[in-house]
Amino acid sequence: MKILAVDDNQFIREFLPAILKDTDFANVTVAASGREALAIIETTTQPFDCLLLDIVMPFMDGITLCRKIRAISSYRTTPIIMLTLKSDAISIEKAFAAGANDYIVKPFEVREVERRLRVIQRLLDSSEVALRLDPKSMLSGGPLGLHDFALKEPVHVLGVPQLVPPFSLGNYLSQLSRKHLQICQVFCAQIEDIESLYSHANSREYAMAIGNVAAAISRVVDCPQLLMAHFGGGTVLGIVTGDSLPDWPQIEELVLAELQIMSPWEEGANKAPITVSIGRPVRPNANRTQRVRNTFNRAIDRAAGRQNSKNNLWAPHTSAVSSAR
C-alpha cells in the first residue's frame, strides 16, 4: 500500500514511517503542509492508495485539504484517515462530510495505526468502495431501468454534504466515545417502492431520488452533527449526535412534505413524488465489536416495521413511480 502522510509536526512525519517500516505499510511518503501534499499528488506517477491527514495545520487545514483531494478525479474514492488531537463530534463530522473515511485521535499507538490500515487494505482488496454518482455530471434522458449498479448495491450520491459513503458512516459510529454515544441516535429512512423506482427511472433520476431524500432529511433535522449514507436498496441510515435531538414523531411527515417539492424526475416525466418510511431512532450499542452491525440492523428493522404498518393501514397501495411518462 502506497501511503501519503501529511502533518506539520516534524515528530509525526518521522514517527509514522518509523513505526510502519517493519509492517506491510512501509511505503510512506510525508508532507509538511497541504500545499506540499497537493504538489506531491500532482507530480506522482502512481496514485497513493491511502492518505493520512492531520486536521489542524497552518494555512490549509486537513479538512480543506481533504476536500481538495476529493475534487481530484483519481482520488474520489481513495481512503482518507484523519489524524487529530480533537475528539469532539463537530470536528470529526466536518472531516467526514469533506470526504474522510476514518480518524485516529492523537496520541496514537502503533497497533492502532496498523489496525486501521489493515481495515483499509481489506476494503481495497474486497472492492467494497461504494460507486460515486454525481447527478450534476450525469447525462439526462438515459434508458429507464438500465443501470451500471445493482438495486442492492450501495451508491454514494454527491451533492449533499451530510451524505457520506457507507464505509465511512460505519467507521464513524464504531469510533464514537462513550460520552458521545449517550447523545447519539441512529435512524433509517427507507425509500418506498424502491424496486419500481429502480425499474422506471434512469440512473440520473435514481441518484437524484437518493440525494433528495438525504437533502430533505438534512433540512428537517437541521443539525450540524448529522451524517447519512445510502446502503443500497433505497436504505438510508443516519446518525445524529448532540445535546438537542430531533422530535422524531414529526420527522417523517416533514420529510414527506419536503419531498413533495423536490422532484427527481426529468422534464416531461409525469410521476408522483418519492415517499419514505422513517423508523424510530435507536441508541447505539456500547460494545464496539458489535456496535455497527447490531445498531444499523435495529434501525433498519424499525424502518421496515414503520413501512409495514403504513402498508397495512393504507392498502391498497399505489406505486409512486409506475405512472407512464
Q: Out of 1.10.1610.10, 3.40.50.2300, 3.40.50.620, 3.40.50.300, which CATH number does the structure's domain 3-126 have? A: 3.40.50.2300
Domain ranges of the chain: 3-126, 131-314
- When pLDDT is averaged across residues 62-70 and rounded to a whole number, the result is 94
At residue 132, the 3 state secondary structure works out as strand
To the nearest whole percent, how much of the chain has pLDDT over 70? Answer: 90
- Higher-pLDDT residue of 246, 137: 137
Predicted local confidence at residue 18, as pLDDT? 92
81 vs 116: CA distance, rounded Å: 9
117 vs 120: CA distance, rounded Å: 5
134 vs 73: CA distance, rounded Å: 12
Predicted local confidence at residue 105, as pLDDT? 84
Query: Identity (one letter) of the amino acid at 110?
Result: V
For the cut 60, the answer to whether the pLDDT of residue 321 exceeds it is: no
Cis amide leading into 107 (omega within 30) = yes
What is the grid cell recorded at 63?
A: 479538512
For the cut 50, the answer to whether the pLDDT of residue 325 exceeds it is: no
What is the number of other CB atoms lying within 10 angstroms of the CB of residue 125? 8
What predicted TM-score, i.e. pTM, was given to this entire model? 0.75
**Structural element, H or E, at residue 98:** helix 89-98
What pLDDT digit, counting tens, does each position of 7-18 carry? 999 999 999 999
Predicted local confidence at residue 131, as pLDDT? 83
261 vs 245: CA distance, rounded Å: 25
For the cut 90, the answer to whether the pLDDT of residue 101 exceeds it is: no
Question: Is CATH 3.30.70.270 what the domain over 131-314 is classified as, yes or no?
Answer: yes
What pLDDT digit, counting tens, does each position of 197-207 carry? 999 999 999 99
